Amino acid sequence: MFFYKKNWLKGYITIEIRGQYPEHFFDMCARYGIPSWDVSKKNTTAAIGKIKLSDLSKLRRIKKRSIYKVYFKERTGLPFLIDSLGSQKPLIIGCMIAFAIIFILSNIVWRIDVSGLDEEIENKVLLQMEEYGLEKGSFQWNIDSPAILQKKLLEDIPELLWVGVKKNGSAFHLEGVEKTTVEKPEEAEVGHLIAAKEGVIVDLFVSKGQPLVRPNDVVYKDDILVSAYLEQQEEEDEGNKAKPLAAEGEVIAKVWYKSEVSIPLTNNYHVLNGQAETKHYLHFSSFLIPFWNFMNPDYTNYQMETEEKNFYFLKWKLPISYIKQTIYQSEVMEKKMEKQEAKTLALEQAKRELLRQLPLDAEITEEKVLHERVESGKVKLTLYYTVLENIAKKQPISQGD
Amino acid sequence: MKKMRETLKTVFTNTFDLPSEVTLELPRITMIGSIHAYIENHQGLIVFSETELLLKIHQGNVRINGEGFVLKMMIDKDILLEGTIKDVKFEDE
């Protein structure tokens, strides 16, 4: 019956009324709006019945006005059940310990699988992981996120071409692809060597092919420097078309570069001055609850770093996470430079930029400042460089026709 | 004066075909065989015991006799009686 179920959830009390005509007490209850049920008379001076727990205060008021004595016999229902559970401390402590153990165990790494790798590299990967603090039995909250691990692994183990780190509950799955460093014999392609840039030839080292230029020749872009055909004249005399070969060699030439740099005379730097505040938060769905270090540092310039750790219960991610926030104080430094200082800096910068474009064996022989001016707080330089570099570039000859 | 009002009420009820228990403050007693009696619109409980239930109603009392009586429910003006009902008597004041 619905009536009973509802009352069980809210709790009800069995009361015993003693006095002359105890049924009148229940009649009074009914009139003051206290429903009662299962009322029966034990003898002429005692009756028992049931009332709702929520009507208890009203009952007290009626009791005061009447001559009857009220005894509480039984308490039934959910509120009392909870109360009685609450008073059983060992049970509650046991439950809490059980939950705590499950919680701790859920946050431990139980397994690390590595697939797709040789045993040797697999061991290397596992050792590397141990260095990051990830091994069987370590706590998950000390470990970086899989994406970061992935990146670190790729950086630290050069044999790996690709590695995928996947976190699956309390297990880590690693999938790797090895670099197969097979030395491919470079197929010498048949072709001329042509000039990649304009310049003046300084030196020639030709190992294969017929050089067509001499030192101090001026060559333009795409001029043939070393031909693939040997001694063209003679071969043509014989009537045989010469077989072209792969021209090889180095052609060192003087090449000129013009570059422009501008350097501001005043520079602003953001510098961390070592002052930092670390704040700890509990992140609960959309709430951020600070639980350590409530102070808000009054830094005018700062940099912020946040780190988030998740917690797991069995395989579920708990809605609670821990956030560590570090606020570093930074200072703005203004640096003013003299014109001369700025100029040397500009020269260095221009040289660096040029070297980045050039092959490793190139050599800057001469550097000239063509033009120099100060304009709206900046030093502008136009520079001219003479560089010795290999300008030979392969141009394949298609042999089909 | 009181009599006149009663007569007026009866006439009013009959003319407009209203349920009599509403206007005349009469009790409505619903019985299921002899095991349940549902009494609505009574005016107070006078005596209740294992074998007897005496209720005050408009212009008199109603007395229910039987065995093993239990009041299954008691709300303001309604009573649900459970037990073996032997007889229901209406008594004048």
Please indicate whether, in this complex, the C-beta atoms of A37 and B50 are within 8 angstroms of each other. no
- Smallest Cα distance from A66 to chain B, Å: 16
- Can you tell me the distance from the alpha carbon of A102 to that of A117, in angstroms, rounded to the nearest whole number? 33
A24: nearest CB among B45, B50, B73: B45
Neighboring chain B residues of A21 at a CB cutoff of 8 Å: 47
- Give the pLDDT score at A48: 92
Please indicate whether, in this complex, the C-beta atoms of B49 and A37 are within 8 angstroms of each other. no
- Smallest Cα distance from A79 to chain B, Å: 22
A38: nearest CB among B44, B45, B70: B70
Would you call A47 an interface residue with chain B, using a CB distance cutoff of 8 Å? yes
User: What is the β-pairing status of strands A111-115 and A171-178?
Assistant: parallel
- Give the pLDDT score at A185: 56
Q: Is residue A164 part of a domain?
A: yes
Would you call A57 an interface residue with chain B, using a CB distance cutoff of 8 Å? no
Q: Is residue A91 part of a domain?
A: no
- Can you tell me the distance from the alpha carbon of A261 to that of A372, in angstroms, rounded to the nearest whole number? 10
Would you call B39 an interface residue with chain A, using a CB distance cutoff of 8 Å? no
Q: Is residue A39 part of a domain?
A: yes
The rounded average pLDDT for each run of 10 residues, N- to C-terminus, in chain A (401 residues) is 68 91 89 89 90 89 89 88 84 91 86 83 84 80 80 83 81 81 63 85 84 85 82 52 75 88 81 82 82 76 82 78 85 81 85 84 83 83 88 76 49
Crossing angle (nearest 10°) for helices A23-31 and A56-65: 120
Please indicate whether, in this complex, the C-beta atoms of B49 and A3 are within 8 angstroms of each other. no
Q: Is residue A94 part of a domain?
A: no
Please indicate whether, in this complex, the C-beta atoms of A30 and B73 are within 8 angstroms of each other. no
Contact present, A146 and A153 (Cβ < 8 Å):
no
Q: Please, is B51 exposed, middle or buried when counting C-beta atoms within 10 Å of its C-beta (0-12, 13-18, 19+)?
A: middle
Neighboring chain B residues of A26 at a CB cutoff of 8 Å: 45, 48, 71, 74
Write the ipTM: 0.81
Identify which of A327, A324, A328 has the alpha carbon closest to the alpha carbon of residue A141.
A324
Identify which of A329, A386, A381 has the alpha carbon closest to the alpha carbon of residue A358.
A386
Would you call B38 an interface residue with chain A, using a CB distance cutoff of 8 Å? no
Q: Is residue A131 part of a domain?
A: yes
Please tell me the total count of domains within chain A: 5
Mean model confidence pLDDT for chain B: 87
- Give the pLDDT score at B24: 73
Token pair 């429910």 is found at B73
Nearest CA in chain A to B48: A23
Neighboring chain B residues of A31 at a CB cutoff of 8 Å: 44, 76
Strand order through the sheet with A266-284: A287-292, A266-284, A316-336, A302-313
- What six digits make up the tokens of A201? 């030839």
Topology of B26-91 in CATH?
Immunoglobulin-like (2.60.40)
Contact present, A128 and A157 (Cβ < 8 Å):
yes
Would you call B87 an interface residue with chain A, using a CB distance cutoff of 8 Å? no
Would you call A29 an interface residue with chain B, using a CB distance cutoff of 8 Å? yes
Instruction: Give the domain ranges of chain B.
Output: 26-91
Contact present, A134 and A112 (Cβ < 8 Å):
yes
Paired strand residues for A166: A173
Q: Is residue A147 part of a domain?
A: yes
Domain hosting A384: range is 259-266+336-394
Q: Are residues A344 and A292 in the same domain?
A: no
Count how many pairs of residues, chain A against chain B, have C-beta atoms within 8 Å: 54
Cα dist from A230 to A215, A243, A396, whole Å: 20, 8, 16
Cα dist from A273 to A297, A299, A335, B37, whole Å: 14, 11, 16, 89
B45: nearest CB among A27, A33, A35: A27
Q: Is residue A150 part of a domain?
A: yes
Would you call A48 an interface residue with chain B, using a CB distance cutoff of 8 Å? no
Nearest CA in chain B to A38: B72
- What six digits make up the tokens of A291? 């639980």
- Residue A109, phi then psi, degrees to nearest 5: -80, 120
B74: nearest CB among A21, A26, A41: A26
